[in-house]
């Protein structure tokens, strides 16, 4: 579509925008008239969390990935998913999808998932108003995974599959036996090659800690924060977890990191990150297996105990493809 044609179309579309004052149902914000679920064949995922959600519920309807997956991650997905193009994103830190190209792609539906605030709502309304494409925001954090899956299944005509996944989510997020914060292990989630970026309490990137019946050892308010090793020594976490092998290698050999009891006494754990992070990256339903893994290792189990079988089952359910045993061993061995 030529730019002048797109602008002409956009000028004629404001009347299509139908933003409701309240969500269509709890956790579901809809802009535009939704197509019947049975007619939805092409779904554009606005960001990485939505892409993982759509891929889990209705993989054949996902048009492409919002970001470029590394080759080791793609190798653990089914061949059809490996072949999907990188389309770019609408959500997150800066859109990489021009609206002219989005119109030319002609999706039946745009789906976003995760945090919903005024910025995301206004952005979704603007995209719908300028393109005429129905846009859905599925609100929810990790604790809402079952609802998110069921809502996505209803939108995409995949209710039965979504219900199976939702039941897994309910089991993975079972209530903690102890509600006393003082009885829970205090966990530091290390991000980056140096381990000095971390999600703060209450942020979406650190939800796996609470779901695993632990307490975030970090202090402060906000989303992600850079911290100093000196501050971390004050926090004195009971355990440290990370998805960055380069950080774990650094911490195990560095004398300053060895001054932390969690590192010195072997309570530094590396979580698998393929095809999507078990703890984060992106913050979507990929974290459900990570919650089970983290609960288990914080309870004293061996990090690798029985996890080949657990991973096989999760991949079969959520990704529709079971990697070879050798692939899973390589993914889990560092942990």
One domain for residues 119 and 193: no
pLDDT recorded at residue 304? 59
Please count the residues of the chain: 335
Q: Of 132, 152, 172, which closes a domain?
A: 172
Among 142, 172, 202, the domain-final residue is: 172
Q: Are residues 15 and 164 in the same domain?
A: yes
- How high is the pLDDT of residue 183? 85
User: Do 167 and 86 share a structural domain?
Assistant: yes
If asked whether residues 203 and 314 sit together in one domain, one would say yes
> Residue 98: which CATH number?
3.40.50.1980
Task: Find the helix packing angle between 288-298 and 307-314, rounded to 10°.
Answer: 160
Residues 164 and 197 both lie in one domain: no
* Residue 224, helix vs strand vs coil: strand
**pLDDT, one tens digit for every residue, the chain (335 residues):** 454 454 444 444 443 444 443 466 889 999 999 999 999 999 999 999 999 999 999 999 999 999 999 999 999 999 999 999 999 999 756 789 999 999 999 999 999 998 888 988 999 999 999 999 999 999 989 999 999 999 999 999 999 999 999 999 999 999 887 666 668 999 999 999 999 999 999 999 999 999 999 999 999 988 999 999 999 999 999 999 999 999 999 999 999 999 999 999 999 999 999 999 999 989 999 999 999 999 999 988 765 556 889 999 999 999 999 999 988 888 886 55
Does residue 316 sit in the same domain as residue 217?
A: yes
Position 330 scores a pLDDT of 84
* Half-sphere exposure for 56 (CA within 13 Å, toward CB): 33
Chain centroid, CA 298 distance in Å: 22
Asked if residue 311 and residue 221 are part of one domain, the reply reads yes
User: Does 223 share its domain with 286?
Assistant: yes
Q: Measure the CA–CA gap between 224 and 215, rounded to whole angstroms.
A: 16
Alpha-carbon distance values, 166 to 11, 51, 261, 307 (Å): 41, 17, 38, 21
| Nearest-angstrom CA–CA distance, 316 and 305 | 19
Same domain, 91 and 223: no
The pLDDT value recorded for residue 25 is 84
**End residue of a domain, out of 172, 198, 217:** 172
| Residue pair 178/216 in contact by the 8 Å Cβ criterion | no
Helix (H, G, I), strand (E, B) or coil at 33: coil
Neighbouring C-beta atoms of residue 298, cutoff 10 Å: 20
Split into its structural domains, the chain has a count of 2
Ramachandran quadrant class, 60 (left: phi over 0; alpha: psi -120 to 50; beta: rest): alpha
Report d(CA 72, CA 55) in Å as an integer.
Answer: 18
Q: Are 188 and 238 in a shared domain?
A: yes
Give me the pLDDT at residue 334, please: 58
Residue numbers of the domain that contains 123: 3-172
Clarify whether residues 45 and 143 are in a common domain. yes
Question: Do 190 and 162 lie in a common domain?
Answer: no
């Amino acid at each position: 579509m030529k730019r002048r044609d797109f602008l002409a179309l956009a000028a004629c579309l404001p009347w299509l925008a139908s933003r409701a004052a309240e969500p269509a149902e709890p956790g579901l914000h809809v802009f535009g008239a939704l197509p019947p679920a049975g007619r939805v064949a092409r779904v554009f995922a606005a960001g990485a969390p939505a892409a993982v959600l759509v891929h889990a519920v209705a993989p054949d309807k996902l048009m492409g990935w919002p970001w470029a997956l590394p080759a080791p991650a793609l190798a653990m997905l089914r061949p059809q998913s490996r072949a999907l193009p990188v389309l770019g994103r609408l959500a997150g830190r800066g859109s990489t999808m021009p609206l002219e190209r989005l119109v030319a792609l002609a999706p039946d539906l745009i789906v976003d998932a995760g945090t919903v605030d005024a910025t995301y709502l206004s952005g979704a309304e603007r995209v719908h108003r300028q393109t005429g494409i129905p846009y859905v925001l599925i609100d929810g954090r990790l604790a809402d995974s079952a609802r998110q899956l069921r809502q996505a299944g209803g939108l995409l005509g995949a209710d039965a599959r979504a219900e199976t996944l939702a039941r897994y989510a309910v089991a993975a997020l079972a209530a903690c036996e102890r509600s006393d914060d003082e009885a829970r292990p205090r966990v530091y989630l290390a991000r980056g090659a140096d381990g000095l970026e971390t999600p703060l309490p209450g942020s979406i990137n650190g939800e796996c800690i609470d779901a695993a019946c632990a307490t975030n050892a970090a202090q402060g308010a906000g989303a992600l924060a850079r911290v100093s090793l000196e501050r971390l020594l004050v926090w004195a976490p009971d355990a440290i977890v990370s998805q960055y092998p380069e950080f774990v290698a650094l911490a195990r050999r560095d004398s300053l990191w060895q001054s932390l009891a969690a590192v010195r006494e072997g309570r530094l754990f590396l979580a698998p990150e393929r095809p999507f992070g078990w703890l984060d990256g992106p913050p979507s339903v990929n974290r459900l297996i990570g919650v089970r893994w983290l609960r288990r290792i914080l309870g004293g189990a061996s990090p690798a105990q029985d996890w080949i079988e657990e991973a096989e089952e999760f991949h079969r359910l959520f990704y529709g493809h079971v990697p070879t045993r050798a692939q899973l061993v390589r993914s889990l061995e560092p942990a």
